[in-house]
Amino acid sequence: MKRLWMFLLLGMMVHLCWSQETDAPMTAEDYYKQSNYRNRTGWLLLGGGAVLGFTGVLIPMGNQIDENCWLFCKRENEDLKLALFLTGGLSMVGSIPVFIASGSSYRKGLRLEMKSKRTELPFRMPNVPVYHPAVQLTITL
């Protein structure tokens, strides 16, 4: 009976313990891929929005609903034209943050890293390494 309670307590504690983390930090290559995907998404939103807006403009006006109207008359296709035009415009405006995020990911790939570089100075003490802080620009091609 004691063993059963011990195994039950051990089994409950296993779920409370932290295990090894599997998320590795993003590399410059990962940032470039993310930037490429976001850039493609932005162009798709921009192109689709332009097509929708242009389609909304090209749809014919349609017949007038009220024959006695002389100013601001309602027409048959007015709602469809407006819906297509506004959806296209919102899609094009929605592509702007995607392009901004794409540029941000690209700049993170070109990050500046502060590292301590090993140099050997012959005029101080020969063959004794000295560590100096250095700025390294990493560009992956």
Average pLDDT, rounded, for the chain: 79
Mean pLDDT over 128-139 rounds to: 63
Write down the domain spans for the chain.
27-61+74-137
Matching residue, tokens 């995607």 = 98
Widest distance between CA atoms in the chain? 101
Which pTM value belongs to this model? 0.60
Structure tokens at 89: 């415009």
Closest CA to 38 of 90, 99, 93, 96: 99
- Which stretches does DSSP call E strand in the chain? 112-120, 129-137
Structure tokens at 96: 């702007």
